[in-house]
Structure 1
Amino acid sequence: MSNTFSASNQIGTVFTFSELVGSDFRGEMNALCWQRNLDGDFNEIVAKLRIKENITEVYPEDLIALRLSEEGNRAREIILNDLQLLADFGASPSLNLLKCYERDDEFDFISTDVYSFHVDRSPIATDTYLCTYYGAASDIVSNTQAEQKVLIPEIRSKLKELHNGPSEEFENFLKENYFDLHYQVHEDVEPINLGLGHLWRLAVDHPKQQVLPCIHRAPVENEGEYRLLLIC
């Protein structure tokens, strides 16, 4: 990992799954990384899976049905084990083969798609888990490096025009349309890339959360390359 990554107060590093799910977020730390250097040929798995639409969910039986080399089989066992660990923990992991996500280009002054820096929100105490096995990996930034877009005066003014309703309902309008989840990163900020093979836990905005939610974004995919992503 880069010095920027390892030196960040935002990120805690662990070396087992039990540490990943059992450690508490605190202070500025709202991202935990189970640091791993994975063996196996994940490219072979991606090459042999069939993508049916822009986002294709891959099930364990789809992986098991693949005829793979020894290196490909090693990669498959890692993925199946990750899925099982998360399921046994009580999460609902999904393995996705991604061509791209849907873009939100309805408004030219604010975007609400996952390529925009954003936080996740949940009504219950939960966290986001993700691991990129192949392809471009997600980015995060610290909460001091970004500002809620709805607080930027020119964006807020345009959102008020869009709302065109009673002022006391404006904040609910922002939440109902997910505008308040999105952030503008400050100039000259270098996001931290989450890399390949590491299993991450990111803090989510929910009533019992003790830290700020983790600001993150999906990457622009590499030309002609799919992503293989575990997320829950």
Structure 2
Amino acid sequence: MSNIFSENNQIGRVSSFEELVQTDFKGEKNALCWDRNLEGDFKEIVTQLQLKEDVTEIYPEDLLALQLSEKGNVARAIILNDFQLLSDYGASPTLNLLKCYERDDVFDFIATDVYSYHVDRSPIATDTFLCTYYGAASEIISNAQAQQKILIPEIRAKLKELYDGPADEFDNFLRDNYFDLHYEVQSNAVPIVLGLGHLCRLAVDHPEQQVLPCIHRAPKENEGEYRLLLIC
């Protein structure tokens, strides 16, 4: 794994929320991260929260109801402030307590769940924001080190076996079922772990985007440990 701020052309390092949202993606740079070394006890918050489903949405009122130590209060204030910053910006942040995501086991030749390297797509100009406060952190990969799964001959041939419509609408079938969003990485690829506490902005595939969308995935969770993730 590569360090988030090691020498690379993919991630831009910023020092404030304003810089994070105002800096343009350029060239190979399709990820921006607000470099932060957060104080506070985020583990205390995770320990007190109640997991109701494998992915449980946590609301600000849930955080406010917790009885926390001084360090826990610091962590809570950081999360609530991030929530407010993103909301004021016009985003719709969601805080999730995660045991695991649902795995895609429909096809044995192509995975389309969030553990597969993928890009996000939107019909309007937007970006993906995320921050891992506790647990395993999300990963990204250089576009040059990955290939769309639908372009791999063996996978494409099996997808054609699934499709029973007109030949000239096959690409629409791939897009409508989100197969085109998923990527296979090269054997020598070096993923970049986004780390804990950094609020990151990733480029999304949309009509006005000037760079390639950022390829990313959810990490394998650490044994016996939940994740606390803010995402929108």
TM range (shorter): over 0.9
Equivalenced residue count is: 231
Unaligned runs of 5+ in 2: none
- C-alpha deviations, 1:86-140, integer Å up to 9, x for none? 0000000000000110100110100110000000000000000000000000110
State the alpha-carbon separation in 1 of the partners of residues 154 and 166 from structure 2: 19
Provide the alpha-carbon RMSD of the alignment. 0.9
Amino acid at match of 2:221: E
User: Partner residue of 2:152?
Assistant: 152
Q: How does 1:81-230 map to 2 (within 5 A)?
A: 81-230=81-230
- C-alpha deviations, 1:139-197, integer Å up to 9, x for none? 10010000000000010000001112211110010011100000000011120000000
User: Partner residue of 1:31?
Assistant: 31
Amino acid at match of 2:195: G
SS at match of 2:212: coil
Deviation for aligned residue 1:6: 2.6
Asked if the contact 2:145–2:185 (Cα under 8 Å) also holds between the matched residues in 1, the reply is yes
Report sequence identity in percent.
75
SS at match of 2:159: helix
Q: Is 2:16 aligned against 1:16? A: yes
Asked if the contact 1:5–1:192 (Cα under 8 Å) also holds between the matched residues in 2, the reply is no
State the alpha-carbon separation in 2 of the partners of residues 4 and 202 from structure 1: 13
SS at match of 1:164: coil
Asked if the contact 2:117–2:183 (Cα under 8 Å) also holds between the matched residues in 1, the reply is yes
State the alpha-carbon separation in 1 of the partners of residues 3 and 158 from structure 2: 40
Amino acid at match of 2:88: D
Unaligned runs of 5+ in 1: none
Detail structure 1 runs of 4+ shifted over 3 Å in the superposition.
Answer: 2-5
User: Partner residue of 2:55?
Assistant: 55
State the alpha-carbon separation in 1 of the partners of residues 92 and 164 from structure 2: 39
Asked if the contact 1:94–1:231 (Cα under 8 Å) also holds between the matched residues in 2, the reply is yes
Amino acid at match of 1:90: G
State the alpha-carbon separation in 2 of the partners of residues 215 and 105 from structure 1: 21
Q: Is 2:71 aligned against 1:71? A: yes
Deviation for aligned residue 1:4: 6.6
Q: State the TM-score, normalized to the length of structure 2.
A: 0.98
State the alpha-carbon separation in 1 of the partners of residues 208 and 27 from structure 2: 15
Q: State the TM-score, normalized to the length of structure 1.
A: 0.98
Amino acid at match of 2:121: R
State the alpha-carbon separation in 2 of the partners of residues 73 and 4 from structure 1: 27
Amino acid at match of 1:141: I
Deviation for aligned residue 1:40: 0.3
